[in-house]
Each structure stands twice: as C-alpha cells, then as structure tokens.
C-alpha cells in the first residue's frame, strides 16, 4: 500500500511537467502574455472589421479582404512564434548581412517592382504583393542596433552620431525615392529611437532637430519657390492640406474630410450597419489607411477607445521589455521597435482625425495588407525573444 501511494504521489506532477515541457519547447513558457493578447486582439478585430466593412467591395466575393487578412494573420502568428524561439542576439552577429539585404531589397524594387499609383514599392508574387520596405522597418532596427553597440568606442561622439545617421538615412532615402514618404519617415524615427536608447547626447538631437526643421522648410517652401520641387505634387498637397482641409475638400483633403465626418458620426456607440460614410465608398481607402474611420463610425467612441487601449497595452509591454533585456543590444532593438510602432499608430490615427498629414502609413495589425501584418508580427516575435531570453538568463539557463 505504501509503495502504491508513493507511486501515486510521484505521478501526480507529471501532467503539469509535460505541459511545461511542451511550452518550453515551443518557446511559450516565458512569453509576455499581455503583449501577445494585445496583438491577437488587434488582428482579430481587424479581421472582423474588414469582414463587416468590405462585403460589397469585390462583386461576387464578399469575404475577399476578410479571408486574405485571416491568412496573413495566421502566417504572421506562425512567424512570431518561430521568431520567439530564436535568440535575438544572433542578429547582432548578422548585422552587416541584414543591412545589405535591406538596402538591396528596397533598391531592387526600382527595377523589378510593379508600378501602382505612381510608385514602385512592391514585388508581385503568386499569392500577394510583397513590400520590402515594410519588413525593412524591422531589419533596420536589428542592423542599426548592432552597429551602435559595436561602434560605441570608435571615433568621437560626433563621428558616431554622423555614422549612425548615415546608416539609417541611406535606406530611408531609397524608400523616399520609390516614392514612399510615410515609410521613409518611419525609418527616420526608428533610427533616432535606436540612437536615443544607444546613449546619443541630447545636444546632438537638438542639432538633428534643427537640421530636420531646415530640411522641411527647404522641401515645402524654398525648393517649390525656386521651381525645383523635391516632392510629387500629390505628396506636397497631402502634407499641407490638413492645415486647411476645407480649402481642399475636392482634392487632397477629400479623404481626410470624409474620415473626420465618418469618425464623428459614430458618436458614443457607433452606427453599426447604418455607417453610410464608410460603407458607401465616401472614404475610399477605408480598408487600409483609413480603417480607424471605419471603427469610429461603426463602433463609435467605445470601439475606438477599445482599440486604442489595446495599442496602449502593446506599447507599455514593448517599452517594459527594454528594461528587462539581458544586454544592451536587446534594449536598443526593443526600444526601436516600440517607438516605430508607436509612431505609426500616432500618425495613422492622427491623419484619420485630421490632426496629422496623410502620409500613407498603415495602422499596425489593423490595416489590410500582408507585408505590414507579417512584418509587425515578426517585430513582436523579436520582442518576445528578448523577453524570453531575459527570463532564461535570470534562471542561469542557455537559450536554444
């Protein structure tokens, strides 16, 4: 009897041990679950909203956007889990290769990409179009963080700052020439974020800020006045029309005006299926850049607040991971990813509300698009890897 009781007591923990072992092998045991929940909730809500708002967009295929976004989400989640299992520190060793691939991929678009709406940004693949500049947001952070860590003792502080800027602005310039102003701005912000977490002096940022202000003045005022415009006509109108949207109601300011009308008409709880602004094509890009207007009109303030609360949770957890990283490289990577996602969300929501210019920046995990969804999930996977490695290092264990 005693032997049987002993065997029984010893056998009880086995199911739990098996579950822990499976979680360890899948890389799930030390994931940041609030971050995971926020990401899953955002993509699930995106699929739901797209299904409700785009039923009449493709004749004969009412679930066109819903099905494809669900497929992109599934692939992205698999990519996130796989990325979680990789020790992110290995990317530091591959920084030169990553940076080379980044620059090469955004350059090849000029030669092999397909043209759409006056720009070349994507490669046409059998099942979807792939936009290298979206994945480049993550690649730039991974590579630049490695360069900052390994170049921390090389040259003077000014020389290091100039070197980091050149490394970040080179791919940003290539993306700008596609032309893709919005994504190039994300590259610039990600570069500055990595530099900030890398310890660049605030005086250097003050000089950079002044230089950026001068650059904006040249691009928007001096160059056009001299007859040498640096932006496409529609880009310049988008950047300036939000300052006086009523003067551009039929042109560059049309979408933004309609977006504000749609968002405001949702009031507290939304209009549901009576959401005429977004359902009847008054907001043309409602499945991509202006999906937040769909949320505002269909689900009102409560729906918009719910989505923004999920983003707040995502950003909080991402910034928290910067403080947990086992090394400085992880801190720089997590900080760059967090700030890049925050910037994209702020600009997209701002242009839906009329307080920011239209730059074509998608809303992470909400806007329709395979490249954006996949790149965002991979970035979240890197954040999860940093979190996992931090917990494993605290326990004195090696990552696999």
Asked if 51 and 61 count as a contact pair (C-beta separation under 8 A), the reply is: no
CA distances from 384 to 71, 206, 236, 325 (A): 22, 33, 39, 11
| Neighbour order of strands in the sheet with 129-130 | 114-116, 119-124, 129-130
Judged against a pLDDT cut of 80, whether residue 278 lies above it is answered with no
Calculate what percentage of the chain has a pLDDT beyond 90: 51
Strand segments, DSSP code E, in the chain are 114-116, 119-124, 129-130
The pLDDT value recorded for residue 221 is: 74
pLDDT tens digits, 376-398: 999 999 999 999 999 888 765 44
Q: Tell whether omega for the bond before 179 is within 30 degrees of 0, i.e. cis.
A: yes
Q: Which of 98, 92, 78, 91 is nearest to 26 (CA)?
A: 78
Residue-averaged pLDDT of the chain: 84
Q: What is the 3-state secondary structure (H, E, C) of 172-226?
A: HHHHHCCCCHHHHHHHHHHHHHHHHHCCCCHHHHHHHHHHHHHHHHHHHHHHHHC
Cα–Cα dist 278/250, whole Å: 17
223: Cα within 13 Å, side-chain hemisphere: 14
Q: Taking the CA atoms of 375, 381, 383 and 385 in sequence, report the sign of the dihedral they define.
A: negative
pLDDT-derived band at 1 (thresholds 50, 70, 90) equals very low
Judged against a pLDDT cut of 80, whether residue 312 lies above it is answered with yes
pLDDT tens digits, 51-106: 888 887 788 888 889 999 999 999 999 999 999 999 999 999 999 999 999 999 99
The pLDDT value recorded for residue 245 is: 61
The pLDDT value recorded for residue 181 is: 85
pLDDT tens digits, 218-237: 877 777 777 777 666 666 66
pLDDT tens digits, 98-141: 999 999 999 998 888 776 666 777 887 777 788 999 999 999 99
pLDDT-derived band at 28 (thresholds 50, 70, 90) equals low
What are the residues facing 130 on neighbouring strands? 123
pLDDT tens digits, 129-163: 889 999 999 999 999 999 999 887 787 889 999 99
The pLDDT value recorded for residue 247 is: 58
Cα–Cα dist 196/141, whole Å: 12
Count the neighbouring beta carbons within 10 Å of the beta carbon of residue 161: 20
* Residues in CB range of 125: below 8 A, 6 or more apart: none
Entry field: residues in the chain: 400
The pLDDT value recorded for residue 255 is: 75
């Amino acid at each position: 009897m005693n032997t049987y009781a002993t065997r029984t007591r010893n056998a009880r923990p086995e199911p739990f041990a098996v579950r822990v072992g499976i979680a360890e092998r899948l890389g799930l045991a030390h994931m940041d679950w609030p971050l995971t929940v926020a990401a899953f909730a955002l993509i699930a809500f995106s699929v739901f909203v797209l299904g409700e708002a785009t039923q009449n967009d493709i004749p004969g295929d009412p679930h066109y956007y819903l099905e494809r976004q669900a497929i992109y989400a599934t692939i992205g989640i698999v990519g996130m889990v796989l990325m979680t299992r990789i020790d992110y520190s290995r990317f530091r060793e591959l920084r030169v290769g990553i940076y080379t691939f980044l620059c090469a991929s955004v350059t090849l678009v000029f030669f092999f990409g397909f043209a759409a709406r006056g720009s070349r940004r994507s490669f046409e693949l059998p099942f979807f179009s792939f936009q290298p500049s979206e994945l480049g947001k993550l690649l730039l952070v991974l590579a630049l963080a490695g360069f900052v860590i390994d170049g921390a003792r090389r040259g003077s502080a000014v020389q290091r700052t100039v070197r980091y800027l050149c490394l970040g602005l080179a791919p940003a310039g290539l993306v700008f020439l596609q032309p893709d102003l919005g994504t190039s701005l994300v590259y610039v912000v990600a570069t500055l974020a990595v530099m900030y977490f890398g310890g660049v002096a605030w005086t250097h940022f003050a000089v950079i800020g002044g230089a950026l202000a001068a650059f904006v003045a040249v691009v928007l005022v001096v160059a056009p006045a001299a007859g040498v415009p640096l932006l496409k006509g529609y880009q310049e109108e988008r950047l300036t029309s939000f300052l006086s949207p009523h003067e551009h109601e039929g042109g560059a300011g049309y979408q933004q005006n309609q977006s504000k009308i749609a968002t405001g008409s949702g009031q507290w709880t939304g209009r549901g299926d009576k959401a005429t602004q977004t359902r009847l094509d008054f907001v043309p890009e409602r499945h991509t850049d202006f999906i937040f207007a769909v949320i505002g009109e269909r689900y009102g303030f409560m729906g918009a607040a719910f989505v923004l609360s999920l983003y707040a949770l995502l950003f909080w957890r991402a910034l928290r991971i910067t403080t947990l990283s086992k090394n400085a490289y992880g801190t720089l990577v997590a900080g760059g990813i967090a700030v890049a996602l925050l910037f994209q969300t702020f600009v997209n929501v701002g242009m839906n509300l009329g307080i920011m210019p239209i730059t074509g920046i998608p809303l992470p995990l909400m806007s329709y698009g395979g490249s954006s969804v996949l790149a965002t999930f991979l970035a979240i996977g890197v954040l999860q890897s940093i979190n996992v490695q931090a917990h494993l290092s605290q326990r004195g264990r090696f990552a696999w």
